[in-house]
Amino acid sequence: MRGYLGIDVGSVSTNLAVLTEDGELIESLYIRTQGQPIKAIQSGIGQLKERLPKDIRIMGAATTGSARKLAGVIVGADVIKNEITAHAVAAMKVVPDVRTVLEIGGQDSKIIIIRDGVVVDFAMNSVCAAGTGSFLDHQAARLGIAIEDFGDLAAQATTPVRIAGRCSVFAESDMVHKQQMGHSVPDIIAGLCQALVRNYLNNVGKGKDIQPPVVFQGGVAANKGIKAAFEEALETEIVVPPYFGVMGAVGAALLAQEQIEQTKAETQFRGFEVSDIEYNASSFECTGCANRCEVVEIKQDLTVLARWGDRCGRWQ
């Protein structure tokens, strides 16, 4: 069996996906990064080795996400692409005529505008936590409910309350105030979902030409309350892919396949054994000029595998 590996390393989660040559998902993993991307990548590769068919051959590998360069060095990636490209490619695989992609992850969110199979505009928000998965996790814990029950409780609301969602701090204080006034938990949760959607559309989606079909992906797409709030605000059906949580990794795997098929080259993938190799990451400040670039260095034993972060290319 031949397969293609995609790895998406973010601040909250590390996702891996393996696709067949026909683009079918064989296996996927969602792992908490927990501030240790190298450990998360190696753990994921090790788990894939155990879960995949023994006769599988990885024909190509690609990495994406905020730690894509680091991941690419560790696994031997054939392609290293930004998450905008990866998410767009994955969305077009599920809905070929998609025109808008909404993506909300653990600590950031993005919108991608696609026309005729080409990304024509996008925006990202990695500054404010309001509307992200980590904020929802925190509010669910404060309300004493499981995040998995968030969407079902929102659907039980009769009169959603209006909550200030422009800032996570104000949203939380407003929720406390509404609780003290005696509003029910389902009404508060539904109001929070609507507030977070307003925040997303007013900030990330501001000035964007949002047209259907609309695909909603990222970990927050599991929340039926957020999906319903988007459908109400945009007055259109929202498509949530079956593997919404690992779409970045799926897109990376598709990009790896495209690269290998175009170049006819042998993959640089270093094999599942990378899960057992000891890597060391460090950084230093270059004093070669006034820029004082912070250079990241990856070593295997005493061998330097890669460096990046300098503007002039001196250390790369």
Q: How would residue 47 be classed by pLDDT, with cut points 50, 70 and 90?
A: very high
The 3 state secondary structure assigned to 264-302 is: CCCCCCCCHHHHHCCEEEEEEECCCCCCCCEEEEEEECC
With a cut of 80, say whether residue 14 has pLDDT above it.
yes
Neighbours of 289 (CB within 10 A): 11
CA–CA distance, 57 with 53 (Å, rounded to integer): 9
| Stretch 50-61: mean pLDDT | 93
Q: 173 vs 211, which has greater pLDDT?
A: 211
Each residue of 142-198: pLDDT tens digit?
777 877 777 788 888 878 888 776 666 677 777 777 877 878 888 888 888 888 888
Predicted pLDDT of residue 154: 80
Q: Are 274 and 70 in contact (CB under 8 A)?
A: no
Predicted pLDDT of residue 130: 58
Predicted pLDDT of residue 15: 94
* Strand partners of residue 165: none
Q: 70 vs 136, which has greater pLDDT?
A: 70
Each residue of 127-139: pLDDT tens digit?
666 567 777 777 7
* Strand partners of residue 296: 283, 308
- 33-42, 175-184, 239-248: segment of lowest average pLDDT: 175-184
Cα separation values, 310 from 9, 63, 286, 294, Å: 21, 21, 8, 7
Neighbours of 151 (CB within 10 A): 18
CA–CA distance, 27 with 261 (Å, rounded to integer): 21
CA–CA distance, 62 with 268 (Å, rounded to integer): 10
**What proportion of the chain, given as a percentage, has pLDDT over 90?**
47
Neighbours of 180 (CB within 10 A): 8
Q: 168 vs 309, which has greater pLDDT?
A: 309
**What proportion of the chain, given as a percentage, has pLDDT over 70?**
96
All structural domains of the chain: 2-89+248-276 (3.30.420.40), 98-240 (3.30.420.40), 279-308 (no CATH)
Backbone angles phi, psi at 184, to 5 degrees: -75, 160
Predicted pLDDT of residue 142: 76
CA–CA distance, 310 with 218 (Å, rounded to integer): 31
Predicted pLDDT of residue 224: 87
With a cut of 80, say whether residue 304 has pLDDT above it.
yes
Predicted pLDDT of residue 16: 97
Predicted pLDDT of residue 236: 96
- 93-97, 136-140, 233-237: segment of lowest average pLDDT: 136-140
With a cut of 70, say whether residue 60 has pLDDT above it.
yes
pTM for this prediction: 0.85
Predicted pLDDT of residue 1: 87
Is 125 in a helix, a strand, or coil? strand
Cα separation values, 256 from 56, 62, 72, 95, Å: 16, 5, 12, 20
Predicted pLDDT of residue 168: 62
Mean confidence (pLDDT) of the chain:
88
With a cut of 70, say whether residue 31 has pLDDT above it.
yes
**For residue 71, how far is the Cα from the chain centroid?**
14
With a cut of 90, say whether residue 297 has pLDDT above it.
no
| Stretch 99-108: mean pLDDT | 87
- 24-33, 88-97, 273-282: segment of lowest average pLDDT: 273-282
